[in-house]
Structure 1
Amino acid sequence: MPKILGISSFYHDAAAAITIDGVIIAAVQEERFNRIKHTSDFPVQSIVYCLEEAGLTIDQLDAIVFYDKPLLTFERLLQTYYAFAPKGIVSFLKSIPIWLEQKLFLKKQIRDGLAEVMSYDKKKLKLLFTEHHLSHAASTFFTSPFEHAAILTIDGVGEWATATISEGKGNTIITKKELKFPHSIGLLYSAFTYYLGFTVNSGEYKLMGLAPYGNPNSDQTKRYIHQIKEQLISIKEDGSIWLDQSYFNYSTGLTMTKDSKWESLFGLKRRQPESELLQAHCNLGYAIQYITEEVVLKMSVFAKAETAAPNLCLAGGVALNCVANGKLLKKQLFKDIYVQPASGDAGGALGAALAVHYMYFDNTRDVDPKKDSMQGSYLGPYYSDKEITILNKRQKAVATKVSSFDILSKQVALEISEGAIIGWFQGRMEFGPRALGNRSIIGDPSNTEMQKKLNLKIKKRESFRPFAPSVLDTDASDFFDLETASPYMTLVSNVKKSIQKEIPSNYHELPLLEKLYCERSNLQAITHLDFSARIQTVHKETNPKYWQLLQNVKQETGKGILINTSFNVRGEPIVCTPEDAYNCFMNTEMDILVIENYIYYKKQQPNWDTKERWLKTFKED
C-alpha cells in the first residue's frame, strides 16, 4: 500500500495531494490557505492538511514526488537565451540568479519546506521527480474511468514540452509525440490574454468569456483570423504549430508580445487593464478562440489515429478551455472524453503521485468504467460545528442552526425562488479552479437581473463574464444539447432551442452591453452571448446535499437548475474556512449565508451595512 505525497510549487498554483494504495485521500491548493491567488509558495499548509487527513507523518510516506524536473527547465532557459543572444540580456540577468539561488537547489528547498511541516528523518526520505507533462497525463488518465485512452496534454510550457500526445493502457502511459518550446498554443493564447489587457495565467478565463462577444461574420474578425494564420502561426495537419518568434517576447523578454509589431499587424493598440472594451477587442478574442479550437481538434484527430484508443483524456491549462472541449465532444471522434477538473499545475501534484504509484511502484490499476476516481473533486478540508461556533462567537454573528438538512434545504430553496442570492458552504472543499456546489454562490438563473447583480455587486468583476448552471443530472437534457455527464464544469453546450428567445436581426452589431442585456433565453443568467453554457451536472452519488437542494428548488420553481459561481470576490481565492465565507458574505451584497446547517441573514448581522469594516482588497486578476 504505497503512501505517496505529490507536490507542485515554485511556479504557480502550488498544491499538495496524497494517495494511499492509489486512492486519493486529499488534494488542495495552497492559495486556499494563504489567500494569495495562484500562489507559488511551497505548500506547507496543504501538506499539513494532506498528512492530517491521511493520518500519516512524513516518515511514514513511501515517496514524495515533485511534479516537474527543474534541471530540464534550466537547460531550456540556457539554450533559449543562447539561441537568441544578445537579445534577452535584461531578462537573463533578472531570472538566472533566481534559478541559481532557488530552482537549481530545489531538493534543498523541498527538504527545508518539509521541515516546516514537521521534523523527519532525512535519510529515510525518498524524493522523486516526474516530468511536467507526465504529471498532467497521469492526473487525467489514472483518475479516468478508462482502461485505454489517448491522452492530450496542452499548456504553456513544462520543461521543453508545450503539448504531448500519449497513450494510456492499464497502469502505463507512453508518450507518442511532443511539441516543444517556443511553439505553444497555450503561450499563444496567453499572449492574446496579455494583449487584450488581462493577466497572464489567470485572465485566460476572461478571454474565453469575451470571445462570444466577437462578431463571427464581420470582415474585421475574418481579417484577424487570416492575419493570425498568415503572420503568427503555422498549423500542421497533426495539430503541431510553428510560431513566428519575431512577434513574441516571452522567450527572452519580460512581456508576452512585441507590442509595436502587433499594433502594426492588427491596427489595434494593446488594451490597458480595466480600460474600455471595444468591439475590435471582442473580435480579436473570437479569432484566437477560433484558432485554438482548430488546433485542439487537429491534435485530437491525430491522437485518435496514433493510438486507435476509444476514449480521450485531457489535461494541462488549455484543457480548461471548456468551449474547445464542448466542440470537440460534438465531433464524436471518441466514444467518451474525460477532462481532469484540476487540469492546471495544481493537478500536477496529484498526477505526480499517481504516476509514481502506477509506473514507479508498478501497481495494478483497477478501473470502474462507470465513474472516475476524483470523488466529485471534493478532496479539500471540511469544518465541524466547533469551527463554526468559534466563528460565530468571534464575529458576534447571528445564525440559526436548523435541526435537519432537509428542513434547511427547503428553506433555502424557497429563498432562492424569491430572488435571494446565497453563499453556500458545505462539506469538503473542491480541488481545482471550479466551485462545484460546496463553496458556491447560487441563485435563480431565470431571474433576468441575476447576472448583472452577481457580477457588479457580489463578485465585483467585469460585467461581460458569464455564469455557469448547476443542473440535476437527470434534467440536463431538458435544458441543454448535452448527451453526456459534465460533473466538473469542463464542457460547454448550447441551451435548447425551446428555451431560447428570438434576438434582434442586428444582434452581432449591437454594442457590448446592449448585447449582454439582450434577452436570449428563459435562463438568461446562465445563457452566454452565443447561446452556450458551461454546465455542471449534479449527481446524488458524489454530492447528495447539493443534489437535494436542486430537487427542492425544482419543487419551488419547476426547474432543477441553479446559477453557480465560485464563493469569492474578484482576485480572491475560493473561500476555504467558515471565517473566509463569513468575511466574503459581509463584504458583498449576498442576502443569505449557509454554512453546513447554520443559516445567516445579512440584515440580522452586526454592522451589516458598514462595509468598511469588512472590505479587503485583493490583487487584480
Structure 2
Amino acid sequence: MLIVGINAYHGDASAAAIVDGMLVAAAEEERFNRIKHAAGFPVEALKYVVSAAGASPRDIDILAVARDPWARIMRKAWHALKMPSVARDRLSAQSRFASIGAEAARALGVGGSSIPVRRVEHHRAHLASSFLVSPFDQAALLSIDGLGDFASAMWGVGRGGTISPMGVVTFPHSLGIFYTALTQYLGFPKYGDEYKVMGLASYGEPEMLEEFRKIVIAPDGGRMDFMLAPEYFTHQRSGGEMTWRAGEPTIGRLYSDFLVTRLGPVRDPAEPVDKRHIAIAASMQRRLEEVIIDRLRVLQRATGLKKLCLAGGVAYNCVVNGKILKQTGFEDIYIQSAAGDAGLAIGAAFDQWHSSASRPREFVMEHANWGPQFRADEIAGLLSSRESEIASQGCVISKIEDEDELCRMTAATIADGQVVGWFQGRMEWGPRALGNRSILADPRRAGMRDILNSKIKRREMFRPFAPSILEEAAADYFTQSYPSPFMLMAYSVRPEKRAVIPATTHVDGTGRLQTVNARQNPLYHKLIREFGRQTGVPVLLNTSFNENEPVVCRPEQALDCFLRTKMDLLVMGQFTVRRGGGN
C-alpha cells in the first residue's frame, strides 16, 4: 500500500511516501525550487517521493493532507462573524484544498483524474509525525506551533498505533505567534528567522522578564492552557495569514503599536543589534522556556508517562529542548528531524496507515536521510563537463575509491584548518545538515566561527555553529549525553572542554550538538572517528552546505556553492575538488 503525505499551501511545503508502513522518501519543496521555506503546492517534492517509491501516480492509494477544514468549525464560524474580512481570506485559502487530489494528479502528469484524498487535522498530524515514527510504545505527546486548523497546541497520549488527544489551545493564543511577532519586532522579518533570535538571546540577560510575563499569561493550578495578552498583537484582528509570491512565504506584521510603546522602538533590519535588543531576545526566550517547561510538568503528572514526543515549529527551539529532561519528570524524548510544518507530510501519511486498519508499528526513524541521492557516474559526468571552469579557478579534481583513505584525507584537511564541503548519500530531511550535505571545519580553532560566518555563510556574526560528536564521546564533552541525532538539543559544554572546542561553544557555554553513531550514518561516523584519531577530539564543526539559500540537493548546486565561496575542499562521493591543487 502506497500512502503519500503532503504539506501544501503553507510554508515548508513537503511530501513523504510510505510503502506498507515503511517510510521510503521525504523531502521539502525548497530543496528543488531553491526558495527558502517554499510555500504553495509541493510539485517537485511530490514527484520525487513517488519516483523514489518506485511507483506511478496511479499506484497511490491515499493522498494524506495535513489540513482539515472541518476542525473546530464552530469556533471558526464564531470568529468569522467578528472578523468578516479575515473569514473571506480563510475561505479563499480553504478553497485550494477542495481540489487538491486533482492538483496532485496534474503535478504528476495524470491530469483529468484525481487521487483519493484523506484529511488529517494539523496538530494531529504533528503528533503523529513524532510518535508514530518514534521508538516508544507509549508516550505523552505535545505539539506547539504558530497556528494550524485554528489551533496552536495539542497534547495527548500515544499508545501503539493510536493517538488520543487530551486538549488544545485555540486561536488567537499561540506561543509560535508570540515568538514570531517578537522576531519581527527585533528586525528579522523573514519567515523562519526565529532561530536567529534564539541564538541572539544567549548574549544577554532576561531583564524584561516581568513585562513578558504580562505578554504570555500561563495560569497556575495544573492547567495546560496559556493565553496571549491581546493588546500586544494584531493577529486577532487581521488573522495573521500567510501569503506567498513566487513561492516565498510571508507573514504580515504581528506585533501591535502597544507592544512598541512598552518595549521601545522597532529595530530596523539594517540597524546594528544593541543591548536592548539582546535583553528583549533573552526575555522572550526565557518566557518561552518557563511556559513550555511548566506545561510539560503538568503533562507528565497528568499522564504518568516518562516518555515524551514533541512536534511543531516550537520544537525546533533546541535551548528549551535541552532543558526538558533536567527540569521535568520525563526521562526519554523523541523529536523527529523535520519537527516543523514540513514534518506534517510524514505525520499525515502515518496517521492514515494506522487509522485505516489495526496495524502494528514497525518503522522507527533513526536517521534523516530520506532525500535524493546521486550515482558516481552522475557526479563524474558533472565534473567532466565543467572541468575547464574548475581548472580556471585553480582547482584540481581527484578520485579516492578507498573509503578509509577518503576519510583520512578529509580529516587531515580539516585538522589543517581548511574548510570542507561534504556531499554524500541521500539528502537530509528537515532543516539541519546532519553529515550528508554539510560544511565541515575544525572546532578546536576559535577563529573558525568568524571565518565561516564572514567568508562562507555570509550571515550574522552572532550565530553559533553546531558540533557533530561521536555518540559514545558525548558524555566526555557535554554535561548531558542523551542522544541528539537530529541536532535538536542544546547542552552545556563541560567547562574543561570549552577551550578544546571553542568554535562550537556558544557564548553561554552550550552547544547545539548532533550525536552520531555508526548505525545512523556509517561514513560520517567514520570521518569523525578518524578526525578524533588524528587530533584527539572526536568532534567536527558542522553547518549546512549552503550560502543564504536552501541546503544543496544536487551535485551541481554543491559545486556552484563551493566555487563561489572560499571553501578549500569539496568531497562528493568518491570525488574531490581541491582549491589550489595541493594534496
TM score, norm. by length of structure 1: 0.87
Which residue number in structure 2 is paired with residue 141 of structure 1? Answer: 131
- In the alignment, which residue of structure 1 is the partner of 2:321? 325
| 2:247 paired residue number | none
Q: Is 2:531 the counterpart of 1:553?
A: yes
Question: How many aligned residue pairs are there?
Answer: 562
Does residue 352 of structure 1 match 2:348? yes
After superposition, the C-alpha distances for 1:182-228 in whole angstroms (9 at most, x for unaligned) are 01111101111111111353111001101111125xxxx1xx11112
Identical-pair percentage:
37
Matched, 1:240 2:225: yes
1:424 paired with 2:422, answer yes
Q: How far has the Cα of 1:389 moved from its partner?
A: 2.1
1:502-541 equivalences under 5 Å are: 521-541=499-519
Retained in 2: the 8 A contact 1:148–1:310?
no
Match for residue 567 of structure 2?
A: 590
Deviation digits for residues 263-283 of structure 1 (CA, Å, limit 9, x no counterpart): 2212x2111113200111111
1:108 aligns with 2:99: yes
Partner Cα distance (1:291, 1:232) in 2 = 8
User: Which residue identity lines up with residue 34 of structure 2 in the other structure?
Assistant: R
| Counterpart residue type for residue 248 of structure 1 | F
Which residue of structure 1 aligns with residue 164 of structure 2? 174
Deviation for aligned residue 1:103? 3.1
Instruction: Give runs of aligned pairs for residues 136-535 of structure 1, distance below 5 A.
Output: 136-216=126-206, 221=207, 224-231=208-215, 233-236=217-220, 237-253=222-238, 255-266=252-263, 268-366=264-362, 373-396=364-387, 397=390, 398-500=396-498, 521-535=499-513
Q: 1:138 to 1:384 in 2, by over 3 A?
A: same
Is the contact between residue 401 and residue 597 of structure 1 (CA under 8 Å) also seen in structure 2? yes
The one-character-per-residue Cα deviations of 1:293-332 (angstroms, maximum 9, x if unpaired) are 1111111112112222220000000011010011112125
> How far did residue 234 of structure 1 move?
4.4
The answer to whether residue 32 in structure 2 is matched with residue 49 in structure 1 is no
8 A Cα contact 1:440 1:566, kept in partner: yes
- Structure 2 distance, partners of 1:121, 1:604, is 55
Tell me the distance in 1 between the aligned counterparts of 2:424 and 2:552: 11
Determine the structure 2 residue equivalent to 1:67.
66
Corresponding residue number in structure 1 for 2:3: 4
Change (3 A) 1:486 1:234: closer
User: Secondary structure of the equivalent of 2:99?
Assistant: helix
Give the equivalent residue in structure 2 for 1:511: none
Range that drifts further, 189-198 or 70-79:
70-79
Higher mean C-alpha deviation, range 102-111 or range 190-199: 102-111
The answer for the alignment partner of 2:248 in structure 1 is: none
Match status 1:122 vs 2:118 = no
Question: In structure 1, how many angstroms separate the alpha carbons of the residues matched to 2:164 and 2:96?
Answer: 29
Mapped partners of 1:208, 1:76: distance in 2 = 33
Which amino acid letter does the alignment assign opposite residue 201 of structure 2?
Answer: A
Q: How does 1:26-37 map to 2 (within 5 A)?
A: 26-37=25-36
Letter in 1 for 2:333: I
Question: What CA distance in whole angstroms lies between the structure 2 residues aligned with 1:350 and 1:543?
Answer: 21
Letter in 2 for 1:300: L
One-letter code aligned to 1:170: G
Contact 2:76 2:150 in 1 (8 A): no
Distance 1:469 1:354, change over 3 A: same
Cα displacement (A) at 1:109: 3.9
Greater displacement, 477-486 / 313-322: 477-486
The runs of 5 or more residues in structure 2 that have no matched partner are 241-251, 391-395
Cα distance in 1 for residues equivalent to 2:75 and 2:269: 31
1:40-82 CA deviation, whole Å, 9 max, x = no partner? Answer: 1311211111111111112212211101124548876664353
Provide the C-alpha distance between the structure 2 equivalents of 1:274 and 1:80, rounded to a whole number of angstroms: 37
Change (3 A) 1:40 1:76: farther
Q: 2:19 — aligned with what? A: 20
Matches of 1:305 and 1:594, distance apart in 2: 49
Alpha-carbon distance, 1:383 to partner: 0.4
Provide the C-alpha distance between the structure 1 equivalents of 2:63 and 2:112, rounded to a whole number of angstroms. 13
Query: Secondary structure of the equivalent of 2:164?
Result: strand
Where 1:214 maps in the other structure, the secondary structure is: coil
Q: 1:573 to 1:231 in 2, by over 3 A?
A: closer
Cα distance in 2 between the residues matched to 1:105 and 1:580: 32
- Equivalent residues of 1:76, 1:159 under 8 A apart: no
Q: 1:602 to 1:389 in 2, by over 3 A?
A: same
Question: 1:603 corresponds to which residue?
Answer: 580
Which segments of 5 or more consecutive residues in structure 1 lack a partner in the other structure? 368-372, 501-520, 606-621
